[in-house]
């Protein structure tokens, strides 16, 4: 439905909502994989770091795509068209994603899972994008102001991209070389998850490629 709404309305925020849903789904799959099965704590720690890095990378990709589309709409003065359809679709979505995001953040903090917390942030971004669609649809229908939709999309996209980039930078600073194949294979040495909040490296040190 989000994809159909994006095609019909040409809304940058609707596109962001649609892509964010895809990222949210993939992030949830990563989180489920992170907790799946009865395995060793070391394996779970490795999965946690890979899931965290994977969601961070998706944040960056999502941010660039949505920011590009939003900036293009700002330059072209694009407007939403079917206001009723946007309100009917995104009003319940905003509530659902808000509750889902808050629940993920709460559980993520309880189990000390950064990947689950980032997944919660992704759901909250979906709620914010839904709210942006609703606000912009009403404003554009009642006033000559046309740029709210695209502006919200660019702001949310920037926030997601910055958050993802900061997470990957933090990994590198702690010795987590996420660009290496050994990291994604789970063969790199790691420290226990209890050390996640400490300043010492999480992976065995070695010169980055």
Task: Supply 90's token pair.
Answer: 């995104």
Residues of the chain by 3-state class (helix, strand, coil), percent to 5? 75, 0, 25
Classify 203 as helix, strand or coil.
strand
- Contact between 164 and 138 under an 8 Å Cβ cutoff? The reply is no
Contacts of 178 (CB under 8 A, 6+ apart): 53, 168, 171, 172, 184
Strands (E) across 96-176 are located at: none
The secondary structure of 20-48 as a DSSP string is HHHHHHHHHHHHHHHH-SS--HHHHHHHH
Q: Which two tokens stand for residue 117?
A: 């917390």
Q: Which two tokens stand for residue 124?
A: 């909250």
Query: Which of 173, 178, 174 lies closest to 191 in space, CA to CA?
Result: 174
8: Cβ–Cβ under 8 A, 6 or more apart, which residues? 81, 82, 85
Q: pLDDT of 164-200, one tens digit each?
A: 999 999 999 988 889 998 899 887 655 454 444 444 4
Mind listing the pLDDT tens digit for each residue in 65-99? 888 888 887 787 766 556 777 778 788 889 999 99
Partnered with residue 203 across adjacent β-strands are 190
- Higher-pLDDT residue of 149 and 10 is 149
Which range (64-68, 113-117, 157-161) has the least confidence?
64-68
């Amino acid at each position: 439905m989000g994809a159909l709404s994006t095609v019909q309305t040409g809304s940058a925020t609707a596109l962001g909502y649609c892509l964010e849903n895809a990222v949210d789904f993939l992030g949830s799959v990563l989180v489920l994989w992170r907790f799946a099965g009865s395995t060793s704590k070391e394996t779970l720690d490795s999965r946690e770091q890979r899931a965290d890095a994977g969601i961070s990378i998706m944040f960056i990709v999502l941010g660039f795509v949505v920011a590009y589309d939003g900036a293009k709409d700002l330059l072209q003065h694009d407007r939403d068209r079917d206001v009723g359809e946007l309100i009917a679709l995104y009003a319940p979505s905003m509530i659902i994603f808000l509750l889902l995001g808050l629940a993920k953040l709460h559980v993520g903090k309880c189990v000390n899972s950064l990947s689950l917390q980032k997944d919660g942030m992704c759901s909250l971004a979906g709620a914010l994008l839904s709210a942006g669609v609703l606000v912009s649809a009403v404003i554009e229908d009642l006033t000559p102001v046309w740029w709210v939709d695209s502006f919200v999309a660019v702001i949310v996209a920037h926030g997601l991209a910055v958050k993802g980039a900061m997470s990957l930078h933090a990994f590198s600073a702690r010795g987590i070389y996420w660009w290496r194949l050994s990291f994604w294979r789970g063969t790199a040495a790691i420290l226990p998850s209890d050390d996640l909040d400490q300043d010492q490296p999480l992976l065995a040190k070695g010169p980055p490629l």
